Amino acid sequence: MLQELFSDLIHELRGAISMRRHPFKYVTLSTVDEQKSPRSRTVVLREVSESLECIIFTDARSQKISHISTNDNACMLAYHPKKLMQIRLDGQLTVVRDQKEIKRLFQKVSEKAIKDYTTSVSPGSAIDQPDQVEYVSRSESNFVALKFVPHTIEYLRLKRPNHLRAVYKTEDGWKGQWLVP
């Protein structure tokens, strides 16, 4: 049954990419800041590979970039309200450096979404009014792709008569272990 749960979580995680309104499309990403405090935010899951490596997009000036430069440990959390399923992935978050890969990923950014990476000042900067944000051209974009490589995945499924909880670790392939819910 551990393998069935793992297959289910893979199906759901990868489904976030292919199914339009899948609840795992938006995940909570947590990083650790310079004071060793956790910082969480919702991000859009852009790709999930066969090996469960995840791609997200961000602005090069965002705080998560400075966080991972000092500590690349990160956590992603997803919840499926209809299935009462939660998955938590622990791993490392790194900047994608391969120029061909960056170009491929950047082509996925729509004209509407490019505004997220072309503000004239850094995300989180103070402004007087929301309509005061200025933008630069697409060619001056601060687009960055981040790769999240999980090493541990915890699965929780709330159900009766017994909740199901398991942890999976990458030790010569993903190996599972039941946990007390």
Question: ω before 161 within 30° of 0 (cis)?
Answer: yes
The whole domain housing 77 covers: 2-122+134-178
Q: What is the DSSP string of 42-92?
A: EEE--EE-TT--EEEEEETTSHHHHHHHH--EEEEEEEETTTTEEEEEEEE
Number of structural domains, the chain?
Answer: 1
Q: Is residue 127 situated within a structural domain?
A: no
Average pLDDT over residues 160-169: 95
3-state secondary structure of 78: strand
Domain CATH number, residue 29: 2.30.110.10
Average pLDDT over residues 136-164: 94
Q: In this predicted structure, what is the pLDDT of residue 25?
A: 97
Q: Is residue 40 situated within a structural domain?
A: yes
Residue 99: is its pLDDT beyond 90?
A: yes
Q: Is residue 159 situated within a structural domain?
A: yes
Q: Is residue 161 situated within a structural domain?
A: yes
Confirm if 17 and 52 have CB atoms less than 8 A apart.
Answer: no
Q: Is residue 146 situated within a structural domain?
A: yes
Q: Is residue 30 situated within a structural domain?
A: yes
Q: Is residue 128 situated within a structural domain?
A: no
Q: Tens of pLDDT along 32-88?
A: 999 999 999 999 999 999 999 999 999 999 999 999 999 999 999 999 999 999 999
Confidence of residue 138 (pLDDT cuts 50, 70, 90): confident
Confidence of residue 111 (pLDDT cuts 50, 70, 90): confident
Confirm if 12 and 89 have CB atoms less than 8 A apart.
Answer: no
C-alpha to C-alpha distance for 22 and 20, rounded to whole angstroms = 6
Question: ω before 81 within 30° of 0 (cis)?
Answer: no
Residue 115 CB partners (closer than 8 Å, separation 6+): 135
Q: Is residue 100 situated within a structural domain?
A: yes
